[in-house]
Amino acid sequence: MLKRKRVGTFAASVGLALVMVLVGNSGTTLASDRSDQVDKQKAASDRAAKLRASLEDVSADLADSVIALEEAKDAQIKAQSRYDEAARVQASVAREQAQAQDNLEVASAQLKRVEKALALSQKKENDNLINIGKIARQTYTNPSLNGSFEFFISGKNSTDLSTYARNASLATQIQSDTLKLVQDQIVGQRNSQAEQRELTLQVRKLKEQADAALKSADAAKSEKADKLDELNKTVAAKEKQEQDLNSKKGEIAKQLEQAEKDKQDAQKRISEIDAKNRETKAAGSAGTSTAGFTTGSIFQGPIKGQLALTSPYGYRIHPVTGQRRLHMGADIHAACGLPQYAAANGTVVSTRYEGTGGNTVTINHGMIAGSSWVSVYRHMTHFASSPGQRVSKGQLIGYTGATGRVTGCHVHFELWKNGSVINPIPLP
């Protein structure tokens, strides 16, 4: 936000506000009336200056806020788009992962069925082998079946032997055919088992890849969601800030309108008093100089001794704000606590803290040589005079300090002639 020239605005208002206090016995009442109006105008001008500066600050803040809000909304739209895309990708990957899970479950179930069928076939094979062995043993050893052992020890003839042999061969052949069928089935089932195992392995790898892809998509979606949530909060905060600034701007504008009215009313009265002052042709005296002061024909320096300028009157780069602005007075080298004195006879208009000017003394010197003169002394550490006090040239009014917006202790001395600030050095 740009820095505001508040000191200049305020000082200009002071210059417009402060005009001579009518001197002489015939002008006592008029001077008192004018002094009251000066106080009213100065208060209104001071309030208007501060409100105007505040309004400028608020307007600048509001402009910055509007720009920042638009930028935040643009970022919000982009973040929403990125989140929507991440959500779309995540949903697609989730479907693929679910499909991979289903495929793995189907493949695993099929493998179990193949392995179970193979186990049953192997059991049948084993049972058939056992049955063939039993038939052989029973055929040749069991007497009830007319086995070969019984044949040799009995008196049976060859015809009986032939019949027995055919019966035994037929039983064995039946078992052998069954065994061959089962064994062929086992070979096929083992091939199916190998193929199903390979298929299941591939499906499991695809499932693992799908799991990894889903995990990555979940993380991306979560990250985009966090960023979107952050921007949503930023937009909400900036919208609230803009509302507050708009409200504040409206309030200040109303106050400024009233302050401007007060200022105009006081200025009108001062103009009337100035006209009467000119009619009376009142003139003040600058008084005699105090020994040891650097003096001009009307004014003397605000401190004793030679005046060593550290920053003259005119446009400069402000040492604190870094902005180019009018330096309305002359900065004079002086240590903290060094006494400061009235530059000429006059009436103290105000002694108060004035923002960047710090503790400030303002003196109205009245009409001198046909012109209205006001002197201003800023950044004091504390005062040695009070509003309404009549002071003489060279009289103590306060002590040097570093209040307000400064980089160190020094004297800031201003002179206003007919409502306009002038270069105070060399002294008029």
The CA-atom distances, in angstroms, between 256 and each of 2, 5, 11, 260 are 20, 17, 17, 6
Which of 62-76, 198-212, 217-231, 296-310 shows the lowest per-residue confidence on average (mean pLDDT)?
A: 62-76
- Most confident of the following: 21-35, 110-124, 207-221, 260-274: 207-221
Which residue is it, tokens 């088992």? 193
DSSP state of 292: T
- Assign 137 a pLDDT band (cuts: 50, 70, 90): low
% of the chain residues with pLDDT over 90: 26
- Kindly report the length of the chain: 428
Average pLDDT over residues 184-200: 84
Task: Give me the pLDDT at residue 162, please.
Answer: 59
Task: Give me the pLDDT at residue 343, please.
Answer: 96
Of 289, 292, 320, which is closest to residue 412 (Cα–Cα)? 320
Task: Give me the pLDDT at residue 153, please.
Answer: 47
The answer, yes or no, to whether residue 175 has pLDDT greater than 90, is no
pLDDT by residue (tens digit) across 88-106?
A: 998 998 998 899 899 989 9
The answer, yes or no, to whether residue 263 has pLDDT greater than 70, is no
Q: Kindly report the number of other CB atoms within 10 A of residue 366's CB atom.
A: 26
pLDDT by residue (tens digit) across 333-343?
A: 999 999 999 99
The answer, yes or no, to whether residue 359 has pLDDT greater than 90, is yes
- Assign 422 a pLDDT band (cuts: 50, 70, 90): very high
pLDDT by residue (tens digit) across 306-337?
A: 899 998 998 866 554 555 667 889 999 999 99
The answer, yes or no, to whether residue 140 has pLDDT greater than 80, is no
CA angle in degrees (0–180, nearest 5) for 375-10-53: 170
Task: Give me the pLDDT at residue 333, please.
Answer: 94
Higher local confidence (pLDDT), 380 or 112: 380
Task: Give me the pLDDT at residue 142, please.
Answer: 55
**What is this structure's pTM?**
0.39
- Assign 257 a pLDDT band (cuts: 50, 70, 90): confident
Task: Give me the pLDDT at residue 352, please.
Answer: 93
Higher local confidence (pLDDT), 372 or 340: 340
Which of 37-51, 211-225, 350-364 shows the lowest per-residue confidence on average (mean pLDDT)?
A: 37-51
DSSP, residue by residue, 315-369: EEE-TTT--EEEE-SEEE---TT-EEE-SSSEEEEEEEE-GGG-EEEEEEEEEET
Considering the domain 6-20+284-422 in this protein, what is its CATH number?
2.70.70.10
Average pLDDT over residues 79-92: 90
CA–CA gap between residue 334 and residue 309 (Å, rounded): 10
